[in-house]
């Protein structure tokens, strides 16, 4: 079966608002909230450069991928394009590696979500939470692509609201309008060993962490193939990558490194965003961040199930 007809056989159940939010959800992953503290501890305030370099690389890749996706919308995405341009061996290798990545992500994200739920309801074991979450999202994905789009729409909206609220709160504190004067200003960017305390090598090391944060940005090119006007959706989503990375990553990470010392004890274990909320004396900071992380890992798990199934279908169609 040809790939174009295969994509049509799936049906176009995604609306414009679904694809728009999918492009945002793909950029805001749980690793932004969980993994950023490790990157900050590695590179210090210069972690901003790591996110900037990684973001520029993602922008260039998405621009190139969008060119191909507009010309030939396909749920196999870059795996199909590699198959056509380089050869079946390239499409086969890339496709299965990408599929295997998401297969590994599914239990990882389910376990993180289960651990959070278990901390709220200790009577239910972690494995049972993991099983229920995975089965529930799998069932939702099996019904129709519209369910996936609708679910991701609301999860992405919650993540956007959470990050924008965090940035607004941080900007208020940095500007000196927050009640606690000790958190105002941006002197923490250079007060603890300078802007690049561990050298440029640490920035490159941090990029290994920051690059993982951007995994999922390409999902929009897979999902857009199941929308009514994939070419318009892909172009719109790709053009918005720059401002999404600027706002959600660079601005929020700037708030973090401007408000808390990069070498703060316990930063890796507590998390960067939670550390900022606790510094600002926000009540129930741990519970708030647990809720945000739970939404993020659920969104990632949902996307992992969707992406893995679409890549498997595409690979099977190509033999």
The better pLDDT of the pair 89, 4 is held by 89
Instruction: Provide the pLDDT for residue 11.
Output: 57
Mean pLDDT of the chain: 84
The arithmetic mean of pLDDT across residues 114-137, rounded, is 94
Find the CATH number of the domain harbouring 227. 1.20.1740.10
- Residue 317 domain-assigned? no
Cα–Cα distances in angstroms (integers) from residue 316 to residues 126, 216, 311, in the given order? 34, 22, 8
Number of domains forming the structure of the chain: 1
List Cβ<8 Å contacts ≥24 apart for 113-119.
113/294, 113/297, 113/298, 113/301, 116/290, 116/293, 116/294, 116/297, 117/294, 119/290
- CA atoms of 28 and 209, how far apart (whole Å): 14
Section 278-302 average pLDDT = 90
Q: Tell me phi and psi for residue 266, to 5 degrees.
A: 80, 10
pLDDT in tens, 180-209: 757 777 888 888 888 999 999 999 999 988
The answer to whether residue 319 sits within a structural domain is no
pLDDT(10) > 90: no
pLDDT at 255: 93
Residue 270 clears pLDDT 70, i.e. is over it: yes
pLDDT at position 181, please?
59
Cα distance between the two ends of the chain: 9
Average pLDDT over residues 146-172: 87
Average pLDDT score over residue span 227-252: 77
pLDDT surpasses 50 at 1: no
Higher-confidence residue of 153 and 246: namely 153
Identify the burial level of 60 via C-beta atoms within 10 angstroms of its C-beta, where 0-12 means exposed, 13-18 middle and 19 or more buried: exposed
- Dist CA 10 CA 225 (whole Å): 9
**Residue bearing the bigger pLDDT, 243 or 198:** 198
231 in a structural domain = yes
Flag whether 6 is in a domain: no
> Residue 50: how many CB atoms within 10 A of its CB?
25
Q: Does the pLDDT at position 46 exceed 80? A: yes
Residue 267: domain span: 12-312
Residue 19 confidence (pLDDT): 73
Quick one: DSSP state of residue 123? T
Spatial separation of the C-alpha atoms in residues 145 and 139, rounded to whole Å: 11
Q: Which residues pair with 14 in a beta bridge?
A: 227
Q: Under a CB-based contact definition with an 8 Å cutoff, are residues 275 and 287 in contact? A: no
Rounded CA Rg of the chain: 20
In a domain, residue 318? The reply is no
pTM beyond 0.75: the answer is: yes
Contact indicator for 44, 198 with CB cutoff of 8 Å: yes
7 found inside a domain: no
What tokens appear for 118 in the block? 């278990």
């Amino acid at each position: 079966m040809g790939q174009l007809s295969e994509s049509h056989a799936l049906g176009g159940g995604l609306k414009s608002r679904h694809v728009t939010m999918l492009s945002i959800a793909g950029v805001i992953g749980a690793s932004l909230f969980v993994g950023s503290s490790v990157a900050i501890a590695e590179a210090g305030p210069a972690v901003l450069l790591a996110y900037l370099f990684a973001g520029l690389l993602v922008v260039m890749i998405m621009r190139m991928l969008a060119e191909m996706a507009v010309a030939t919308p396909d749920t196999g995405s870059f795996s199909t394009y590699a198959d056509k341009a380089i050869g079946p061996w390239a499409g086969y290798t890339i496709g299965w590696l990408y599929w295997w990545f998401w297969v590994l992500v599914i239990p990882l994200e389910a376990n993180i979500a289960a651990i959070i739920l278990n901390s709220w309801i200790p009577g239910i074991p972690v494995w049972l939470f993991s099983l229920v979450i995975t089965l529930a999202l799998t069932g939702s994905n099996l019904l129709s692509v519209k369910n996936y789009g609708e679910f991701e729409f609301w999860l992405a909206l919650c993540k956007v609201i959470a990050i924008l609220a965090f940035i607004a709160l941080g900007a208020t504190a940095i500007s000196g309008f927050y009640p606690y004067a000790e958190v105002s200003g941006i002197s923490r960017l250079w007060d603890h060993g300078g802007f690049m305390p561990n050298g440029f090598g640490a920035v490159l090391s941090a990029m290994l962490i920051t690059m993982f944060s951007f995994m999922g940005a390409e999902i929009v090119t897979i999902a857009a193939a199941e929308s009514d006007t994939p070419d318009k959706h892909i172009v719109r989503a790709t053009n918005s990558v720059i401002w999404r990375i600027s706002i959600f990553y660079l601005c929020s990470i700037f708030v973090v490194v401007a408000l808390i010392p990069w070498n703060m004890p316990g930063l890796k274990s507590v998390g960067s965003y939670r550390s900022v909320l606790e510094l600002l004396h926000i009540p129930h900071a741990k519970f708030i961040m647990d809720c945000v992380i739970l939404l993020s890992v659920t969104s990632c798990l949902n996307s992992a199930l969707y992406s893995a199934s679409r890549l498997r279908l595409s690979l099977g169609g190509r033999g």
